């Protein structure tokens, strides 16, 4: 039996229940918190959450956008993309919902708005909403339709490597969140 949501703290409850636009903003906040805790966290968008030694031999937790939420909100420091891993943590009983939200964030970070929403179980038949989602995909999806029609989502880099690009990455995510909020998502 799943733990009741009331067993979770306010930050965890918000992650588990918020709309996609708010989820993106929470992830940006958590990513920024990880960036500022340089001695504890490293950023690597190809790793969910993994504790390992860095180049200097110090132990750090490497996180992606979604992984920053796991680390900051749930204190999960090892996750490789399996709901079974999550069931053994504080998330007990809500692993599938957390996993859907992590997958959604993974899509949003590459500009795949439609697939991010679909991962959260949101599909719309409303033509106006569909048009806005399609426009966001076309604008940001890094692999939209074909290689000749790629979106403009800026990839994230190790924080010290390209702070301007990372700021742009977060701005673009915030823009996606703003547009989703305008249509009630």
Q: pLDDT band for 84, please (50, 70, 90 cuts).
A: low
How many Å apart are CA 38 and CA 105, to the nearest integer? 22
How many Å apart are CA 182 and CA 138, to the nearest integer? 18
Report pLDDT for 13. 84
Q: pLDDT band for 15, please (50, 70, 90 cuts).
A: confident
Q: Give long-range contacts, CB 8 A cutoff, 24+ apart: 160-167.
A: 166/35
Q: pLDDT band for 134, please (50, 70, 90 cuts).
A: very high
Q: Which of 127, 108, 119, 103 is nearest to 180 (CA)?
A: 108
- Residue 85: pLDDT over 80: no
- Residue 113: pLDDT over 90: yes
How many Å apart are CA 169 and CA 112, to the nearest integer? 14
The SS3 of residue 62 is strand
Going by C-beta distance under 8 Å and a sequence separation of 6 or more, which residues neighbour residue 28? Answer: 170, 173, 174, 177
Give ∠ CA 170-172-176 in degrees, rounded to 5.
115
Report pLDDT for 156. 79
Q: pLDDT band for 81, please (50, 70, 90 cuts).
A: low
Map tokens 């390209």 to a residue: 162
- Give all strands (DSSP E) within 44-160, no chain letters: 49-53, 59-63
Q: Please report how the helices 163-182 and 20-36 are oriented relative to each other, as an axis angle in degrees rounded to 10.
A: 160
Map tokens 């859907």 to a residue: 100
How many Å apart are CA 34 and CA 120, to the nearest integer? 24
Q: Quick count: other Cβ atoms within 10 Å of Cβ 128?
A: 9
| CB of 15 closer than 8 Å to CB of 176 | no
């Amino acid at each position: 039996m799943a733990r009741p949501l009331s067993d979770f703290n306010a930050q965890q409850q918000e992650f588990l229940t918020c709309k996609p636009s708010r989820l993106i903003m929470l992830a940006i906040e958590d990513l920024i918190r990880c960036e500022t805790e340089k001695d504890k966290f490293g950023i690597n968008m190809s790793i969910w959450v993994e504790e390992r030694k860095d180049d200097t031999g110090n132990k750090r937790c490497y996180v992606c956008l979604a992984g920053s939420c796991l680390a900051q909100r749930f204190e999960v420091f090892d996750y490789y993309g399996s709901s079974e891993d999550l069931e053994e943590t504080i998330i007990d009983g809500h692993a599938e919902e957390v996993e859907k939200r992590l997958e959604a964030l993974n899509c949003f970070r590459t500009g795949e708005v439609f697939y991010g929403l679909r991962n959260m179980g949101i599909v719309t038949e409303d033509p106006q909403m569909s048009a806005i989602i399609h426009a966001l995909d076309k604008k940001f999806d890094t692999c939209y339709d074909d290689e000749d029609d790629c979106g403009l989502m800026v990839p994230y880099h190790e924080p010290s490597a390209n702070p301007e690009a990372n700021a742009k990455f977060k701005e673009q995510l915030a823009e996606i969140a703003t547009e989703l909020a305008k249509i009630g998502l």
